[in-house]
Amino acid sequence: MIGFIVKISNKIAEVVILIPINKPILGNEEKEAVLRVLESGVLTNASAEGGPFVRTFEKELASFMGAKDAIVVNSGTAALQVSLLAMNIKPGDEVVVPSFTFAATAGAVLLIGAKPVFVDIDLNTYNIDPEAFRKAITNKTKAVIPVDLYGLPAKIDEIREIAERQGIVVIEDACQAQGASYKGRMAGTLGDVGCLSFYPGKVMTTGEGGAIITNDQELADRLRMIRTHGQIKGYDSKLLGGNFRMPEMEAAIGIVQLKKLPKFLEARAKNARILMEHLNKAPLILPQVPENIVHNWYLFTVRFTSEKIRDSVREKLLKEGIGATVYYPTPVHKLPYYTSLKYGNIQLPNTEMASKTVLSLPVNPLVEIKDLEKMSKIIFDVLS
């Protein structure tokens, strides 16, 4: 049981959430793994290769992803920032990003001095619209960051075809999509590099943490240097870098969580399938999963015909202890910091419509069939 404060109808009400939208699932194996690190006395390692738990986690993660290499870092945001640095994106370069996502995607671009260029989404998938990307390209465009929103891979073939014609780097933001796949390839392996997040609410966690996936050995070496101040052996910085390292305790947790991930994903898929069946005749728009794509069901997101209806459903679900959440109520380009940079007047109609009408429902492995039946009944009751 989790309690938190949520704002409903301009009033502050204490709501006890019995069914969270997402929650880390940790057991004795993770505790024992952390204790092994503590007993070793090696909590981190400043070498480019990292410590023993980091190296093991990277090897097992790369194998799971079907990739040649995985470079773990201390957050999904760090994964994006290190990738941009490694791909030589420089101040003044333009990077095309969606606005309907978490702020980290655009923030990573700004942190290296480049300029995010916001484009609209496809309302069927909530991912970046390839045609909008094409129209946004200028002679300053050096990269595009398609986000696999809610755990559904973007239309990567179309995006890559456009990017390759123009010599544009594709950095896949798969921070929400670990375990999803596109035409048989894992999300995170679809771009020139791919980024994952192990934040506590994701499909698996290391506490905090992230990873960069690549099949390019030279790029992998560069990424490892950047994550530890551009060093190779120590005090020999060859590149501009920083401290983006993953601590050994996080890597130890990750090794355990990765083994559990297939079961986590199986439970999410089952819950999503049941909820899809229950809501099939409801007057709302269910998640759309294109052919040859496997969703990881990080978030099960429905869309209503109006903001008023969406908010009424959410309010009722919250009152009943169900952690229905809006991702994302404000597009990134309309957040206060971005409006101060003059992005606020950009017209992205699909993005703004989605922000007013989407609602994500819990389907994480802790959700039971009775919970799914309960939330379905509530939705039908409100809509009727």
Q: Please write the tens of the pLDDT for every residue from 252-300.
A: 999 999 999 999 999 999 999 999 999 999 999 999 999 999 999 999 9
Are 107 and 75 spatial neighbours (Cβ–Cβ below 8 Å)? Answer: no
Q: What DSSP string runs through 106-152?
A: HHHHHHTT-EEEEE-B-TTTSSB-HHHHHHH--TTEEEE--B-GGG-
Residue 8 has pLDDT above 70, yes or no: no
Q: Please write the tens of the pLDDT for every residue from 141-197.
A: 999 999 999 999 999 999 999 999 999 999 999 999 999 999 999 999 999 999 999
pLDDT band at 233 (very low <50, low <70, confident <90, very high): confident
Residue type for position 302? V
* Residue in the block written with tokens 């993005």: 351
State residue 16's pLDDT score.
Answer: 86
Q: Please write the tens of the pLDDT for every residue from 69-82.
A: 999 999 999 999 99
**Euclidean distance between CA atoms 244 and 17, whole angstroms:** 34
Under the phi-then-psi rule, with left for phi > 0, alpha for psi from -120 to 50, and beta for the rest, what region is 373?
alpha
* Residue in the block written with tokens 């002679």: 139
State residue 96's pLDDT score.
Answer: 98
The pTM (predicted TM-score) of the whole model is 0.95
State residue 1's pLDDT score.
Answer: 36
Residue 6 has pLDDT above 50, yes or no: no
Are 296 and 187 spatial neighbours (Cβ–Cβ below 8 Å)? Answer: yes
Please give the mean pLDDT across all residues of the chain: 95
> Could you give the domains of the chain?
2-23+262-383 (3.90.1150.10), 28-257 (3.40.640.10)
Residue 11 has pLDDT above 70, yes or no: no
* Proportion of the chain above pLDDT 90, given as a percent: 94
Are 76 and 104 spatial neighbours (Cβ–Cβ below 8 Å)? Answer: yes
**Euclidean distance between CA atoms 291 and 285, whole angstroms:** 18
State residue 14's pLDDT score.
Answer: 64
DSSP-derived 3-state class of residue 109: helix
**Euclidean distance between CA atoms 163 and 155, whole angstroms:** 12
Extract the tokens encoding 226: 């950047």
Extract the tokens encoding 102: 């978490």
DSSP-derived 3-state class of residue 19: strand
